[in-house]
Structure 1
Amino acid sequence: MPLPSAHLPAPPAVTSDWALFLDVDGTLLDFADAPGDVVVQPGLVDVLAVLHGRLDGALALVSGRRLAQLDELFAPLHLPAAGLHGLERRDDGHESLHARPVALDAVLAAARSLAAKFPGARVEDKGVALALHWRGSPAAEEPLHEFATSALIDLPGYHLQPGNHVVELRPDGAHKGEAVLELMTHAPFHGRRPVFVGDDLTDEAAFKAVGSHGGFGILVGARQPSAARYALHDPAAVRDWLEEGLSLA
């Protein structure tokens, strides 16, 4: 059985009337020092494919990664998805993308120069956003965060999005909660009970969004406080729970 968190009960089994929204890193996949080093566990793609079918297509990935990265990770699946915390979206086969500001190129170069001083620190170019990672170099947290704060001067309309050993520079006006609510206005998600599974601070907006529409959030880990109603211990517990959901009612 999947392990619950120490603070919240384990979630109920997946049922056929759900709209299931899944974060990726730290939820479906275990973290790695570099985003490109994550491993998709054997069998996970098959589980997602079967659940997607049994939910009549109402399963979506909602991630900080780009849509192209999600498709590469979970190939050959081409699931409904919101990438970059909602800046990129795909539903009904259509994709919407935001334009990249010219000033971001100079910020990217400066960020990479700074990160190079801290072995293990990484700067991830997400197209319209930048992610500064220090999981592999804890000493880089303060200088990278200070840099990101100062870079906002050159990026009007941008804000900082803190995460798990990362801070992102990203455009205003989109977050995971808003992305979930937008997906819920379209088939096959509309009219179903929304459930969001995620681990990070960026997932709290989505927990609140599904909670306001008759659904609930499932936190991965023991972080508190959280708007989630249930919890699972770690990504391995999430994968076990999803596999058990193959026999959904």
Structure 2
Amino acid sequence: MSVRLPDMGYTSHLLPPPSLAELTAARPVALFLDFDGTLIPIASGPDTIVVPPDLPDTLAALSERLAGRLALISGRSLEDLAQYLGNPPIFRAGSHGGARCDPEGSSIGEPPEAIPPAAMTALEEFAAAESLAFEPKTHGAALHFRSRPELAARTHAFARDQAKRHGLQVKKGKAVVELVRAGVGKDGAVRVFMAEPVFAGAMPVFIGDDVTDEDGFIAATDFGGFGIGVGERESSNAKYCLENVKDVYEWLKP
């Protein structure tokens, strides 16, 4: 197994996973899906994504196939996800797993607090000064530097400084860095959902494309499952890989 190796390896060196049909034929499976970069291609900015119009129906049908053992876990807030998906009848977690709801939309547990206003203001001012995209969120805020890749190191350093000042946590992604409350992670969402009766006894599979999904891979492994990395990137916790978003949809087919 390629779990928690000391040296990072590229997911392209990993094998494709057994088909979902094979896995579910052997035992109950609980599936955890990232959103950006996994179900939809990465775009130039958070507001320029293209979401297939039938994605909510696809997720609802997939959840039915899995007897309700499906959860979407995204760095986006639940409110932001709802703009693109509505409220499909599946388990969902936003804000990197910090805010969670059941298929009826009822909250599971307490959501994390918003970051301090001073931290929000500092990130917004930095973004304006450096011509970066600023994304305020319900429980955090992000700086996107896809259009200014030369500012990656400076942006990360600024985020680390603000995190230290305000007791926050830094979340890194593809050309984005975000500040959230300490202790927030996709692993926490997996653990909360696995405690729900419908998920009991199932083997968890977490699919994601970014650094923040590594926590989800670890949690899935801890529960006897595994992680699937999407795309060619460094990962020390994925067991299998899929090449791109198209391959994810192919893998999800009955």
Where on the TM-score scale, by shorter chain, does this alignment land: which range?
A: 0.7 to 0.9
Aligned to 2:111: 97
Aligned to 1:110: 122
Of residues 64, 70, 85 in structure 2, which corresponds to 1:74?
A: 85
Aligned 8 A contact 2:92 2:103 in 1: no
Aligned 8 A contact 1:194 1:214 in 2: yes
Identity across the alignment (%)? 39
Where do 1:42-191 residues align within 5 Å?
42-91=53-102, 93=104, 94-95=106-107, 96-101=110-115, 104-119=116-131, 121-156=132-167, 158-191=168-201
Aligned to 1:196: 206
- CA shift, 1:25, in A, is 0.7
Of residues 207, 218, 225 in structure 2, which corresponds to 1:215?
A: 225
- CA shift, 1:132, in A, is 1.1
Number of residue pairs matched? 236
Aligned 8 A contact 1:81 1:91 in 2: yes
Q: Give CA deviations for 1:197-222 in whole Å, capped at 9, x if unaligned.
A: 00111111111111122211111012
CA distance in structure 2 between the partners assigned to 1:225 and 1:80 by the alignment? 26
Equivalent residue of 1:136, what SS? coil
Q: Give CA deviations for 1:107-157 in whole Å, capped at 9, x if unaligned.
A: 3223222222344x211111221111111221332332222122124312x
Q: 1:199 to 1:140 in 2, by over 3 A?
A: same
1:8 equivalenced with 2:14 (yes/no): yes
Equivalent residue of 2:96, what SS? helix
TM-score by length of 2: 0.86
Moved more, 135-144 or 216-225: 135-144
Q: Cα RMSD (Å) of the superposition?
A: 1.8
CA distance in structure 1 between the partners assigned to 2:80 and 2:175 by the alignment? 20
Q: 1:139 to 1:237 in 2, by over 3 A?
A: same
- CA shift, 1:226, in A, is 2.5
CA distance in structure 1 between the partners assigned to 2:12 and 2:157 by the alignment? 34
Equivalent residue of 1:116, what SS? helix
CA distance in structure 1 between the partners assigned to 2:82 and 2:48 by the alignment? 16
Q: Which runs of 5+ in 2 are unaligned?
A: 1-10
- CA shift, 1:21, in A, is 0.3
Q: 1:73 to 1:234 in 2, by over 3 A?
A: same
TM-score by length of 1: 0.87
Moved more, 196-205 or 8-17: 8-17
